[in-house]
Amino acid sequence: MQKPTSLPPERSGKIANPKLLARRKALADAKDAGIWQTKPPPQEIKIAGVRALKFSPSGKSRGTILHIHGGAFRIGCPEQISHFALALAQHCSVTVICPAYRLAPEYPYPAGLNDTRAVMEVLIADNDTPLILSGDSAGGGLAAGLAAMA
């Protein structure tokens, strides 16, 4: 089987329904209230135009993990996996990058995959240490898609 060289073009999305918007607002309120705050806090960065959180180990980093949050491709943010990402960074001595990819239905497939692919390509180009792809739930699906494209 031949490896695909490109994804389908991005397409117009639609407005999220009120129930989804309410769930997103609840997550935003939790984030603003500091529910996922970590010590030390992550560094907020932009990679390929995509907002991301960067969690660093206390010592030298042995590699980078691109960890993609879940949420059925429609909800979620990197902040909600902050405690996991920080623990991973500290216990494994790696840098953990958690991108905030575009969500459906406003940005349907392949928008989220395009965002995470752009982040992955920058991380590969800018680092000489190993890159590990991981994700939870929908983020695991995006990580698997990235691995297939890589």
Residue-number span of the structural domain to which 22 is assigned: 18-29+40-149
- Tens of pLDDT, residue by residue over 60-93, are 999 999 999 999 999 999 999 999 999 999 999 9
Q: Residue 129 is which amino acid?
A: T
pLDDT exceeds cutoff 70 at 131: yes
Identify whether 9 is part of a domain: no
Give the span between the Cα atoms of 37 and 34, in whole angstroms. Answer: 5
Confidence tier at 5 by pLDDT (50, 70, 90): low
Identify whether 34 is part of a domain: no
Give the span between the Cα atoms of 127 and 138, in whole angstroms. Answer: 26
Identify whether 142 is part of a domain: yes
Number of domains into which the chain is organized: 1
Confidence tier at 1 by pLDDT (50, 70, 90): very low
Q: Once rounded to an integer, what is the mean pLDDT over residues 108-134? A: 95
CB–CB of 117/144 below 8 Å?
no
Q: Once rounded to an integer, what is the mean pLDDT over residues 3-13? A: 81
Best CA proximity match to 108, nearest among 146, 73, 59 = 73
Best CA proximity match to 88, nearest among 59, 55, 120 = 55
| Residue 120: CATH number of its domain | 3.40.50.1820
Identify whether 132 is part of a domain: yes
Identify whether 11 is part of a domain: no
